[in-house]
Amino acid sequence: MVSRNDIKHFYNRIKQLLLYPGREWAIIRQEEDSSSRLFNLFFIPVTGIVSLVVIPGGIYRFGIFQGILYSLINFISATAGVYLAFLIIREYLNNKIPDAENTALHLTVYSASVFIVFHSLSVALINGFFSQLLSLISLIFIRTLYAGISAVARLEVNQKTNALIIAALSIICIPVIFKRLLMILFHIPILNL
């Protein structure tokens, strides 16, 4: 169960990654989180919380059953999509740095958390100016990702650029593609999303 202190931790970590990404990545590099612990105790609860925020918008647009299903699809697509993005980033970093799995996990989980928060909030709102604004703001995760990749000392400059492109596209595209596929599968209208 997620406690009030956990929610404060999630909020503070994401806020620091948004406002002071270089300083926060220095703190993250010193932490010793296992892959399952970081994914299960940080990313999944953050995604779950923002998926709950999606429920009212889904209910307003689609009705109660499809609104709840829409929130569940948001959670599943974000979780599965970010995990697949992690696997892609890890594969790219393999044989380039000694701790490729841990580095890929941190880059993916923390950057994707920033993206998923704003992206989920944008789909929770009814289409309009604020929804589009939050969609644009969700791309600020690239700044967080860039600061994280810049902190990886063993990567050459061109490898850092490649890692940034691969990671950013994976984090943006894979969860969105999963969401669209699941919405088609469950017959939830995907127009105007």
pLDDT for residue 192: 43
pLDDT digits (tens, 9 = 90+) for 4-51: 898 899 999 999 999 999 999 999 988 877 677 888 889 999 999 999
Confidence check: pLDDT of 188 > 80: no
Distance CA 14, CA 20 (A): 10
Distance CA 111, CA 128 (A): 26
| Backbone phi and psi for residue 125, each to the nearest 5 degrees, phi listed first | -80, 155
Task: Name the residue with higher pLDDT: 93 or 35.
Answer: 93
pLDDT for residue 58: 78
Spacing of C-alpha 173 from chain mean position = 11
Q: Across all residues in the chain, what is the average pLDDT?
A: 90
pLDDT digits (tens, 9 = 90+) for 104-149: 999 999 999 999 999 998 888 867 889 899 999 999 999 999 999 9
Distance CA 125, CA 122 (A): 6
| Angle, helices 157-185/100-124, rounded to nearest 10 degrees | 50
pLDDT for residue 70: 85
pLDDT for residue 163: 96
Confidence check: pLDDT of 155 > 60: yes
Q: Which residue has the tokens 């703190």?
A: 27
pLDDT digits (tens, 9 = 90+) for 22-35: 999 999 988 877 67
pLDDT for residue 62: 76
Task: Name the residue with higher pLDDT: 189 or 58.
Answer: 58
SS3 per-residue string spanning the chain:
CCCHHHHHHHHHHHHHHHHCHHHHHHHHHHCCCCHHHHHHHHHHHHHHHHHHHHHHHHHHHHCHHHHHHHHHHHHHHHHHHHHHHHHHHHHHHCCCCCCHHHHHHHHHHHHHHHHHHHHHHHHHCCCCHHHHHHHHHHHHHHHHHHHHHHCCCCCCHHHHHHHHHHHHHHHHHHHHHHHHHHHHHCCCCCCCC
Task: Name the residue with higher pLDDT: 57 or 101.
Answer: 101
Q: Band of the pLDDT at 190, cuts 50, 70, 90?
A: low
